[in-house]
Amino acid sequence: MINELRLDNIRLNPHPPPIKGGREFSRDYKEAFLKIEDILSHYALGNIDYEYAIKALLYAKNAIIPKMDYSKEIKKKLINLYDEALKLLQRLRTPEKIKQWLLNNGPPRLTSKSLENYMHKRSK
């Protein structure tokens, strides 16, 4: 599973969960991994600015991940991935370039259908 934790597995999420309170890091280390995708997607979509994206990545890397009950190996891998994401953001800088980078990793994440949409279509 740890081999799946690679920056090139991060794609554009057109509807990322909120940065504050969105992912439950305590649930699973994959949530901490997907938080990178959320932050970069929010930035690529223009929902947050560059400084906020940097601060969000740094906060997760330095304040949250070290306190999680993950193995040392997982913590080290996640911290390295957050470092890679920070370097990527600093290198590409613009939301457009980040969006293109995310799209180059694969199609945007599919969003789950809402129950309301599902029920509406079934009733027709």
User: Domain residues for 33?
Assistant: 2-122
Is the predicted pLDDT of residue 114 greater than 80, yes or no? Answer: no
CB 98 within 8 A of CB 43: yes
Is the predicted pLDDT of residue 116 greater than 50, yes or no? Answer: no
Is the predicted pLDDT of residue 123 greater than 70, yes or no? Answer: no
Query: What whole-number percentage of the chain has pLDDT above 70?
Result: 88
Render 49-118 in DSSP notation, one character per residue.
-HHHHHHHHHHIIIIIGGGS---HHHHHHHHHHHHHHHHHHHHH-SHHHHHHHHHHTSSPPPPPPPHHHH
How many domains does the structure of the chain reveal?
1
- For 62-74, the pLDDT digits (tens) are 999 999 999 999 9
- For the question of whether the overall pTM of this predicted structure is more than 0.85, the answer is yes
